Structure 1
């Protein structure tokens, strides 16, 4: 989530000045009266920063690479280049440069911030969480790190199959990912079969299944989902390209969702999540203090749509990809492909 709003992991659509390289003025101060090599590295840095401001990240990488050749012990050059790699969504390179900057300057908070952002891009959220915590140890006033730390926690829970709103609400109550996970396991350890109890802070026993084509029958779904627990009922809605699978308890449903989301069957890739109405009924108020994603798709956006958008455009074509191909009844506009896709969507 933060970097939320951009492909891959998540850059904010309008980057703030705190995210961008900040070393030009400092470099100028340090190079007054110094040798030619140092002056050249400062000149390269200034050119690189100007290119960054113009959005020319590939060219900026070249400038910072040359600056590193002039002075390979300056941590700021590696931090600069890490930022550019991150903007280019080249996350392994961004991580390598961030780690090098930390080796050169262990007390530099920007290095850990770059590392955290790169790890988020790689979807290694638990490691990114630790990096952002280190940023705040060194710079407690870094608001971006506070936001990213919150987003790292939410993304970890969403990886476990929880909805965004559920994740936010549970973190507001339990504070840490570990505490939330423990709370979700408590009903199972207690052998509780009362769904009303299971729903107090844990997922429900029903699942929504998307991308259900006409070739997929109730039997197909029954055979697939029953491997993860006792099913009470299945309802297939071919006219809406979806189905509802109801398990005996929430633990079974959570296990099925974790294993089957993204599963391919009968030439379609299933999308498995909790029904929207469950999140709306039991988790009515998302946390307001963080998560740009919540701000973008929260109460103002309303329930998620699965039918046509903008009149007759295909929702899936604009988000996760449509598996119906030429058979789809809605429009597939080439330059709109993936335009509405969110960072957490498969």
Structure 2
């Protein structure tokens, strides 16, 4: 059903078959004179159908690059069919070519502004690019068009959790706070109102620092956001601490430089663990015995791989390291182990 977004990303047979063009060369519209040009035009719908069928088969076999080629041919035959762009966007997403996936998703939206899957593809691509606040808006649009789309609800929650994690919240704590306050903005506002999170930290923890990155490289990158008082690089821990003159400078750098490439690695940033433990709001839950327990606020820890060599975060909320991660990112396993926040 084209208008709905019942889209578990592993159930592709139903989803992809639904977008096949049911086009036939109608005898009523056929020209009286069968010229060479007219004959070619009459065969065009059949060619499109063949390209799409081949694209589906290749996708199901995991041949995503070849599937891209087939949907590209279909687009050349009919550049106004939004479904072909949506299909090719998904192929690019499986290849982790998120910029191309985003471009195709935006094209499908341009052609069909009320098609939920177009916004779902856009949101998925934005999450791959780690543009989580934009992904959140895309998933919200999906739900405006199809409020029953469970996959969009799931990714909407994930995009919000990842935004809070970028600010230094621990994953479990992020889910508890979102369960209570719903949006990222509401979580931050509530924390500030309680006086427990004033965002007055002048320091940033920067991860993914390799030996290729020098102190001068860090100074040149971060000084555009304000005066730097000191920098401490800990190569043995693959991280560095940047201390700005004031908190506003640190806050801007945190937002603008998250995921920026430096020394062939994508930087990961948050406020230092010690500051986070002192300032983040505690989350309390009532146990079965009726006693209240405060959750700890540990720093972001790298979890052990799953199934031997699969990335834990790829299978849950998304991996900050992208294609630089030393563990496997299997496209069809993305988000497989993600647990929704229970009401």
Matched, 1:162 2:177: no
Q: 1:168 touches 1:286 (CA, 8 Å); kept in 2?
A: no
**Which is worse superposed, 33-42 or 60-69?**
33-42
Task: Indicate how the Cα distance of structure 1 residues 228 and 162 shifts in structure 2: closer, same or farther if over 3 A, else same.
Answer: farther
CA distance, structure 1, for counterparts of residue 79 and residue 235 of structure 2: 61
Give 1:52 deviation, angstroms.
Answer: 0.7
Aligned with residue 326 of structure 2, among 329, 336, 339: 339
Q: What SS does the corresponding residue of 1:22 show, helix, strand or coil?
A: helix
Counterpart of 1:91? Answer: 98
Q: 2:196 touches 2:281 (CA, 8 Å); kept in 1?
A: no
The structure showing larger relative contact order (alpha-carbon pairs under 8 Å, at least 6 residues apart) is: 1
Counterpart of 2:50? Answer: 43
Q: 2:266 touches 2:321 (CA, 8 Å); kept in 1?
A: no
Aligned with residue 84 of structure 2, among 50, 69, 77: 77
- Structural mapping, 1:313-332, within 5 Å: none
Counterpart of 2:306? Answer: none
CA distance, structure 1, for counterparts of residue 204 and residue 57 of structure 2: 50
Aligned with residue 137 of structure 1, among 138, 144, 149: 144
Unaligned runs of 5+ in 2: 1-7, 28-42, 216-221, 286-294, 304-319, 335-343
CA distance, structure 2, for counterparts of residue 77 and residue 242 of structure 1: 43
Counterpart of 2:189? Answer: 182
Aligned with residue 304 of structure 1, among 301, 306, 317: 301
Residues paired across the two proteins, number:
271
Task: Indicate how the Cα distance of structure 1 residues 99 and 286 shifts in structure 2: closer, same or farther if over 3 A, else same.
Answer: farther
Counterpart of 1:107? Answer: 114
Q: 1:95 touches 1:114 (CA, 8 Å); kept in 2?
A: yes
Counterpart of 1:22? Answer: 15
Counterpart of 2:70? Answer: 63
Counterpart of 1:147? Answer: 154
Q: 1:320 touches 1:341 (CA, 8 Å); kept in 2?
A: no
Task: Indicate how the Cα distance of structure 1 residues 34 and 163 shifts in structure 2: closer, same or farther if over 3 A, else same.
Answer: farther
Q: 1:89 touches 1:121 (CA, 8 Å); kept in 2?
A: yes
Give 1:31 deviation, angstroms.
Answer: 3.5
Unaligned runs of 5+ in 1: 1-13, 188-196, 218-223, 288-297, 307-318, 322-335
Q: 1:228 touches 1:252 (CA, 8 Å); kept in 2?
A: yes
Task: Indicate how the Cα distance of structure 1 residues 110 and 252 shifts in structure 2: closer, same or farther if over 3 A, else same.
Answer: closer
CA RMSD of the aligned region, Å? Answer: 5.3
Give 1:237 deviation, angstroms.
Answer: 9.2
Q: What SS does the corresponding residue of 1:23 show, helix, strand or coil?
A: helix
Task: Indicate how the Cα distance of structure 1 residues 106 and 305 shifts in structure 2: closer, same or farther if over 3 A, else same.
Answer: closer
Task: Indicate how the Cα distance of structure 1 residues 270 and 126 shifts in structure 2: closer, same or farther if over 3 A, else same.
Answer: closer
Q: 1:154 touches 1:168 (CA, 8 Å); kept in 2?
A: yes
CA distance, structure 2, for counterparts of residue 151 and residue 94 of structure 1: 19
Counterpart of 1:7? Answer: none
Q: 1:75 touches 1:101 (CA, 8 Å); kept in 2?
A: yes
Q: 2:52 touches 2:71 (CA, 8 Å); kept in 1?
A: yes
Task: Indicate how the Cα distance of structure 1 residues 21 and 269 shifts in structure 2: closer, same or farther if over 3 A, else same.
Answer: closer
Q: 1:20 touches 1:83 (CA, 8 Å); kept in 2?
A: no
Q: 1:162 touches 1:203 (CA, 8 Å); kept in 2?
A: no
